[in-house]
Amino acid sequence: MAFDGITVAAITQELSDRCTDGRIYKIAQTEKDEILLTIKPQVERGGGQVRVYLSADASLPLVYMSDDNKPSPQQAPTFCMVLRKHLLNGRIRSIEQPSMERIVRFNVEHMDEMGDMKTKTLLIELMGKYSNIIFVDEDNTIIDSIKHVPASVSSVREVLPGREYFIPDQQKKLNPKETNKEEFEHALLEKAGPVFKAIYNSYTGFASTIAQEICFRADIDSSLPASALSAGQMERLYNVFDLFMTRIKSGEYKPAICYENDSPKEYAPFHLMTYEKMPGCHLKDFDNMSSLLENYYAEKNALTRIRQKSADLRHIVATALERTVRKYDLQLQQLKDTEKRDKYRVYGELLNVYGYSAEPSAKSITVNDYNTGNDLTIPLDPTLTASQNAKKYFERYNKLKRTAENLETLTKEVEAEKDHLESIQNALDIAQGEEDLVPIRDELVEAGYIHRKGEKKKSSRMQAKSLPLHYVSSDGFDIYVGKNNYQNDQLTFKVANGGDWWFHAKGMPGSHVILQTGGKEVPDKAFEEAAALAAFYSKAKDQEKVEIDYLQRKNVKKPGGAKPGFVVYYTNYSMAIKPDISALTQVD
């Protein structure tokens, strides 16, 4: 979700409740576009100290409170020194959000060099690439900013010391806190396009997610234009909109992250019923927006980092897989071409029987095929005798037969290579940390896809950091999921005993899943949850349902010389299951 005005309203409320009348104890510029304020709140507001992060990073502007600290440079940048000069030990008199804009104002009371009490304002504008942290005096004159914006960069507003500070109003949006039913209806009817777009294009503070949520709660198709709504539908829509605004004004927030299985998908200061009803989605509540934002972006950043770290491995695997698939397709086509070999054998046999009747220099001969009882016309080389033509057809048959035998062997080898690469690709999708990439890289080296002089496998100590995923079923049974082929082999043949149950997505790359029985009878629910894990950690995780094979571990075999993760089995049960693991508990 975008860091919209409603999110800013929730954060502003939290900051105001905790930090108003608190003193600014420390100021640090931890990054080029980031300021860290350490504030000591009043005892009646919880006391202690709070760290407030203000980030004007163009890709991820943020404001939130945290208990964590960050190192700052030994030599403070100029903007940080300016803030220290004017605001250090100042008292925060109020924290405000002007008109549901993506702006937070810290109004700070501070004694100047002459001993006079002055109020200055630190603002953070959370506006994507236009984000900025700006420091102004009582007259709204800019003292300094973390990013200077001259006229050559913006013709709308200069952000430079000495210039007047103002909020540009280019979009002419309305303040949702001050609207009424008539204005609401008029604003929406003026806009073309879907009604959810009309909401966020008419009012400040709204992003698409909350606009969609309002339509959902009002039981209205968000893709309809406002002009297509009946009077009753428009009234329901306004009532839901007004309910949201009432809760925002009174500070009644219920922050939650929506997870699609284990991945954070969306967040909002309110429960998103739109996502809550989606298959595989569940909501996780948070006490406040700060802890939500800290968790959400930490998890998102972790996913981004692992993607970046694994980029080189993904490229190696994708290139090798593309080459292997091309080779496999070519071999299948060549194998198909050899299917006509039996025709040449029949031609040769019939020419040996009926060739005496062929006219000299004839280009064909029509004979009765004793195999089918039908007449058959056989092409002839007029420069050759019938027996020579027969010999030529037999040679062609034998050549295609040898080709087919060789191709059948080669095709199986290439198919195994393709399956192996797809299993490594699946392991890269499952990887959650840098330690999970170590055994994958080792496997690529061992298989010859990475050639590095003197390359050795990483130490077992390093590999040990990457552990299988561990879940507990609703009935209390331990379920383990391999994150790569080495772990799959380890789980199946070292961890599991013969009576445990083994699960795998049918005919496609995926994790080995072990359901440990502990000698107990396993209920159907545990089987279904283990199957759901096998579906989720497979290449088919985005399908509605996935077919899963399962059997006792003692019936799973590994052929000699087989690649890591490859097994065979001949008797099994099957079930089709949704790849939904939202009800399962993962153990750290």
In order, the DSSP letters of 536-566 are: HTBTTTTSS-EEEEEEEGGG-B--TTPPTT-
Q: How confident is the model at residue 452 (pLDDT cuts 50, 70, 90)?
A: low
H/E element, 84: helix 78-87
Question: What would the pLDDT profile of 359-416 be if each residue is shown by its tens digit?
Answer: 888 999 999 988 888 999 999 999 999 899 999 999 999 999 999 999 988 998 898 8
CATH of the domain at 386: 1.10.287
> 129: which 2 tokens?
């690439």
Q: CA quadruple 90, 92, 93, 97: dihedral positive or negative?
A: positive
Residue 162 covered by a domain: no
Residue 17 lies in a domain: yes
Q: Note the pLDDT of residue 170.
A: 56
Q: Same structural domain for residues 11 and 43?
A: yes
Torsion of CA 442, 446, 451, 452, to 10 degrees: 50
**Helix ranges (DSSP H) in 431-510:** 434-446, 460-464, 485-490
pLDDT surpassing 80 at residue 277: no
300-351 confidence digits (pLDDT tens): 777 777 888 888 999 999 999 999 999 999 999 999 989 889 899 999 999 9
Q: What is the pLDDT of residue 347?
A: 92
Task: Classify residue 193 as left (phi > 0), alpha (psi -120 to 50) or beta.
Answer: left
Per-residue CA distances from 317 to 181, 277, 425, 450, 517 (Å): 58, 37, 7, 10, 36
User: Based on the domain organization, do 183 and 82 belong to the same domain?
Assistant: no
> 3-class DSSP state for residue 514?
strand
Residue 156 counted as domain residue: no
Q: Say whether pLDDT at 455 is over 80.
A: no
Say if residue 203 is in the same domain as residue 113: no
On whether residue 447 sits in a domain, the answer given is no
Q: Are strands 256-260 and 263-268 parallel, antiparallel or unpaired?
A: antiparallel
Give me the number of domains the chain comprises: 4
Helix, strand, coil percentages (3-state) for the chain, rounded to 5, are: 45, 20, 35
Quick one: tokens of 523?
């209920």
| Domain of residue 183, CATH code | 1.10.8
At residue 261, the pLDDT reads 67
Amino acid 97 reads Q
For 51, list phi and psi in degrees, rounded to 5. Answer: -105, 130
- pLDDT at position 36 over 90: yes
- Residue 169, pLDDT > 80, answer no
Whether 395 and 508 share a structural domain:
no
Please tell me what DSSP assigns to residue 510. B
Q: Is the pLDDT of residue 463 over 60?
A: no
Q: Which of 306, 325, 358 is the last residue of a domain?
A: 306
**CA 385 centroid distance within chain:** 70
**Span 457-474, average pLDDT:** 70
Could you tell me whether strands 513-515 and 585-587 are parallel, antiparallel, or unpaired per DSSP bridges?
Answer: unpaired
Taking CA atoms, 358 is separated from 343, 346, 388, 427, in Å, by 19, 17, 12, 65
**Overall average pLDDT of the 424-436 stretch:** 89
Of residues 441, 459, 438, the one with CA closest to residue 449 = 441
Of 460, 498, 504, 456, give the one whose Cα is nearest residue 482.
504
Predicted local confidence at residue 69, as pLDDT: 87
Cα–Cα distance measured from residue 239 to residue 260, given in angstroms and rounded to the nearest whole number: 30
Q: The domain containing residue 68 runs over which residues? A: 5-145
> What H or E segment, with its residue span, contains residue 121?
strand 117-125
- Give me the phi and psi of 260, to 5 degrees please: -100, 100
Q: Assess if residue 30 is contained within a domain.
A: yes
- Residue 436's nearest CA partner among 295, 588, 310 is 310
In the predicted model, what is the mean pLDDT of residues 158-179?
87
Is 370 within the bounds of a domain?
yes
Average pLDDT, the chain: 90
Is the domain of 240 the same as that of 323?
no
According to the 3-state scheme, what is the secondary structure of 44-82?
A: HHCCCCEEEEEECCCCCCEEEEECCCCCCCCCCCHHHHH
Helix ranges, 355-479 (H):
386-430, 434-446, 460-464
In a domain, 153, yes or no: no
Co-location of 241 and 340 in the same domain: no
DSSP label of 457: P
Do residues 87 and 191 share a domain? Answer: no
pLDDT tier at 550, thresholds 50, 70, 90 = very high
Of 306, 333, 361, which closes a domain? 306
Are 545 and 577 found together in one domain? yes
The least confident of 1-10, 98-107, 246-255 is 1-10
Does residue 461 register a pLDDT over 60?
A: no
Same domain, 320 and 279: no
CA pair distance 457, 445, nearest whole angstrom: 8
Other Cβ atoms less than 10 A from the Cβ of 225: the count is: 15
Whose structure tokens read 């077992």? 460
My answer on whether 24 and 112 are in the same domain is yes
Residues 382 and 485 grouped into a single domain: no
Q: Residue for token digits 């004694």?
A: 111
Phi, psi of 385 (to 5 degrees): -75, 170
By C-alpha distance, which of 175, 203, 204 is closest to 191?
A: 203
Nearest to 310 by CA among 481, 483, 446, 59: 483
Indicate if 274 and 355 belong to the same structural domain: no
316: left (phi over 0), alpha (psi -120 to 50) or beta: alpha
Q: Which tops the pLDDT comparison, 2 or 181?
A: 181
How many angstroms separate the CA atoms of 5 and 248, rounded?
Answer: 11
Alpha carbon distance 509, 470 (integer Å): 20
CA 311 to chain centroid: 15
Please write down the HEC assignment for all residues of 182-248: HHHHHHHHHCCCEHHHHHHHHECCCCHHHHHHHHHHCCCCCCCEHHHCCHHHHHHHHHHHHHHHHHH
pLDDT digits (tens, 9 = 90+) for 219-255: 999 999 999 999 999 999 999 999 999 999 999 999 9
Residue where a domain stops, chosen among 306, 336, 367 = 306
CB atoms within 10 A of CB 386: 20
Angle CA(31)–CA(33)–CA(34) in degrees, nearest 5? 60
| Cβ 34 vs Cβ 54: under 8 Å | yes
Report yes or no on 434 lying in a domain. no
